[in-house]
Amino acid sequence: MTTNVSNSPLPEGILKCEFSKFVILTFDYYSDQSVPIQHLHQYQDKMVIHARNGSALCRIFPSSLKGLASNWFYFLPPHSIYGLEYLTKLFLSQYSFYQELNWNNHHLLSIKIKPFDSLKEYIRYF
């Protein structure tokens, strides 16, 4: 998929921001399997040296995504992202349900049918 800068969800002001003495950082990419809030915290921790440059934070955020999450970003309407706070709200609203589904085996084994639950309600947990 070829990305045209003019179709980017980021506005021109953010796309034109300049970086001074930028160090390329390595990220644990978000790939629909992680907990989204943990990904944002990790991203913000790594980007703390650029904390005063909100445009840079917005512009670099897509590089921390891969797979469907990256596709999600590039399918946002052109020039629709106007700041980091808005971008993080969109990201969390898109992927917050993954956090609820990220249960471990211990949690699943602890779920028991309640006396008045129907089998349908019980199965909904799984």
List the chain pLDDT tens, one digit each, 126 residues.
444 556 788 888 888 877 666 666 677 788 777 788 888 888 888 887 766 777 888 888 998 998 889 999 999 999 898 888 899 999 988 887 655 555 556 555 666 666 766 776 666 655
In the DSSP assignment, the letter for residue 20 is S
In degrees, rounded to 5, the angle at the alpha carbon of residue 67 between the alpha carbons of residues 61 and 68 is: 90
Residues in the chain: 126
CA separation for the pair 67, 29 (Å, rounded) = 9
In the DSSP assignment, the letter for residue 23 is P
Residues 6+ apart with CB under 8 A from 95: 30, 32, 36, 69
What residues does 30 pair with on adjacent strands?
Answer: 65
Q: Which amino acid is at 62?
A: P
Q: Model-level pTM greater than 0.75?
A: no
